Amino acid sequence: MSNIFNYGTDHLTIGICLDIASGKTKGIINKEAADMIQASWREVEKIVHSHHPVYGINTGFGPLCDTRISEEDTSLLQSNILKSHSVGVGKPIPQEIAKLMMITKVHALAQGYSGIALKTLERIIWHIDNDIVPVVPEKGSVGASGDLAPLSHLFLPLIGLGEVFENGERQPASKLLNKHGLQPLLLGPKEGLALINGTQFILSFAMKAVQRLDDALNRADLIGAMSLEGLMGSIRPFDERLHQIRPFKGTRMVAHRLFTLLDGSEINSSHINCDRVQDPYSLRCMPQVHGASRNAWLHLKELTEIELNSVTDNPVIFNADDTISGGNFHGQPLALPLDYATTAAAEIGNIADRRCYLMSEGRYGLPKLLTHDAGLNSGLMIPQYTTAALVTENKTLCFPASADSVPTSLGQEDHVSMGSISGRKLHQVIDNIEYIQAIELLYAAQAMDFRRPLRSTPVIEACHELVRQHVDFIQDDRVFAVDINSLHKLITDGSLLQTAGEAAIAHHIDLSHDEFGIY
């Protein structure tokens, strides 16, 4: 493997982290990082022997922070915290998310401020490299002292407890360790606390959301352009000059993409001199609406990358005489942009539903409900009901979890972020968007067929052809759920964006924008 990432010393990006999780890049601890890790570990040893009280090393946790722990019990304290804090409930999170949690935790701890032992990080890297992923329940974190419950479950296998997935099989961690000839680790002072203090649950959901939302935004422009062609909308609202005088980054990018996607279309050229003065907002305001969501995405990406390279442990160990018990574990810096991104994502589905409705109305030369024989056939009447239902479900998910706070830990943790909920909700919204976009794609391809023999641009036509390889033109009513699921697969497996990308490259069309990448 040629791609190497050095934990603790290199700059981690979302793209690199995803590549480590997929096995395209290997994460290692180099000598520089190993020296920092071991130096920090030695400072913690000094604290233990000095008997100077430092939170979580020789004191209890949370409201028990004033309870002193004897030197001989400091190790037992660390294994106890993993056990007692493993209180998560619900189904397991996706294995990729759990793997991202391990990767981001190693990178944070390898920076040398946490007092972790090198052997502990090497065991976590063993899990990453061998794709042996701990079972982590989805619910139970309030996102304040870090993601305590999910991180506790994540690292139970280090001490021979909990469960793991290997090759898709769920099994006890103790059985797995025996199979591979490994012994459970005996955690040293501070190690248990270092493992479970941090925002890696929130962070990993944020990272994956950045990737998924990026794809959804790229599809929104592409499918929106197809819908505009089906509705014979104008590309004039995407003129670069218009967006130079209101230069939001996302708006300018979307306008450029739409104009580039549609420039040279026969369909567009055929109605340049029509008497239609302006299009409905869901067509001509795509740069402003999609672009605003792009701006929210960019904000989330930037803050996520800061968090990726941060130390979110507590206390932070500068040296044995200089430790700070602060709040770097608090999830608020990500909770707020995750909630913002949830609303931004929901709006992508909202405007797509409006385009579906437009295409079913029978305006601009299209037949009502996009069928020749409306009456005997319902045509594309009911799929828009599904988009309407999904849009409303997304709206209910837009309540910001970060607006709520329930005090915990007997009031010691009297303000919490609830960012873990923000992260999970965002993915639920994106799940719904993928179905909404599948339905808009069904409508857009059908509407474009009514404009034949006129053709659109190479990228749009390549996408239309892909649709028709899987879903036939609708002549008569059929079970449309089959069509929707077929198109949903093209969306979720990346086929639609891959087809568009290949066509763009083949015809020397540039749809990219470096600032909006994840590497």
Catalytic residue among 55, 113, 340, 443: 55
Per residue in 197-207, pLDDT (tens digit) is 999 999 999 99
pLDDT in tens, the chain (519 residues): 569 999 999 999 999 999 999 999 999 999 999 999 999 999 999 988 887 778 777 776 666 666 676 767 777 888 999 999 999 999 999 999 999 999 999 999 999 999 999 999 999 999 999 999 999 999 999 998 889 999 999 999 999 999 999 999 999 999 999 999 999 999 998 999 999 999 999 999 999 999 999 999 999 999 999 999 999 999 999 999 999 999 999 999 999 999 999 999 999 999 998 889 899 999 999 999 999 999 999 999 999 999 999 999 989 999 998 999 899 999 999 999 999 999 999 999 999 999 999 999 999 999 999 998 889 999 999 999 999 999 999 999 999 999 998 888 877 788 899 999 999 999 999 999 999 999 999 999 999 999 999 999 999 999 999 999 999 999 999 999 999 999 999 999 999 999 999 999 999 999 887 778 887
Q: Which CATH superfamily is domain 3-197 in?
A: Fumarase/aspartase (N-terminal domain) (1.10.275.10)
Rounded CA-CA distance 43/162 in Å is: 30
CA distance linking residue 234 with residue 228, whole number of Å: 8
Closest to 124 in 3D by CA, of 137, 138, 106: 106
> Measured in whole angstroms, how far is the alpha carbon of residue 491 from the centre of its chain?
16
Q: Which helix (H) or strand (E) holds 103?
A: helix 95-109
For 224-249, the pLDDT digits (tens) are 999 999 999 999 999 999 999 999 99
Helix axes 458-470, 480-492, angle to 10 degrees: 130
Kind of pairing between the strands at 133-134 and 89-92: unpaired
Cβ-count burial 455-488 (b if 16+ within 10 Å, e if not): ebbbbbbbbbebbeeebeebeeeeebeebbeebb
- DSSP SS3 for 457: coil
Q: What is the model's pLDDT at position 273?
A: 87
Look-up of token digits 């944070």: 108
β-bridge partners, 178: none
Compute the distance between CA of residue 92 and CA of residue 170 in angstroms, rounded to an integer: 11
Any residues with CB less than 8 A from the CB of 101 and at least 6 apart, and which?
Answer: 136, 150, 151, 154, 200, 201, 203, 204
Q: Alpha helix locations (H) across 248-365? A: 249-262, 266-269, 281-284, 286-308, 332-360
Pairwise CA distance, residues 353 & 440, whole Å: 7
Token pair belonging to 324: 């700070």
Q: Where are the domains of the chain?
A: 3-197, 206-314+328-405+414-507
Kindly report the backbone phi and psi dihedral angles of residue 198, in degrees, each rounded to the nearest multiple of 5, phi listed first: 150, 170
CATH class of 206-314+328-405+414-507: mainly alpha
Handedness of CA 334, 339, 343, 345 (dihedral sign): positive
- The answer to whether the CB of 121 falls within 8 A of the CB of 37 is yes
Give the alpha-carbon dihedral of 236, 237, 239, 244, to 10 degrees.
160
Instruction: Tell me the sheet residues that pair with 166.
Output: 169
Query: What pTM was computed for the model?
Result: 0.96
For residue 196, the model assigns a pLDDT of 95
Identify whether the C-beta of residue 207 lies closer than 8 Å to the C-beta of residue 93.
Answer: no
The question of whether 435 is a catalytic residue gets the answer no
> Per the structure block, which two tokens stand in for 143?
């996102």
Question: Within 10 Å of residue 326's Cβ, how many Cβ atoms?
Answer: 11
pLDDT tens digits, 480-494: 999 999 999 999 999
Helix, coil or strand: residue 217 = helix
According to the 3-state scheme, what is the secondary structure of 373-426? Answer: CECCECHHHCHHHHHHHHHHHHHHCCCCHHHCCCCEHHHCECCCCCHHHHHHHH
Distance between CA atoms of 111 and 114, rounded to whole angstroms? 8
Closest to 56 measured CA to CA, from 84, 37, 75: 75
Tell me what pLDDT residue 411 has.
76
- Separation CA 88–CA 485 (nearest Å): 33
Let me know how long the chain is. Answer: 519
pLDDT, tens only, 457-476: 999 999 999 999 999 999 99
End-to-end CA, the chain: 18
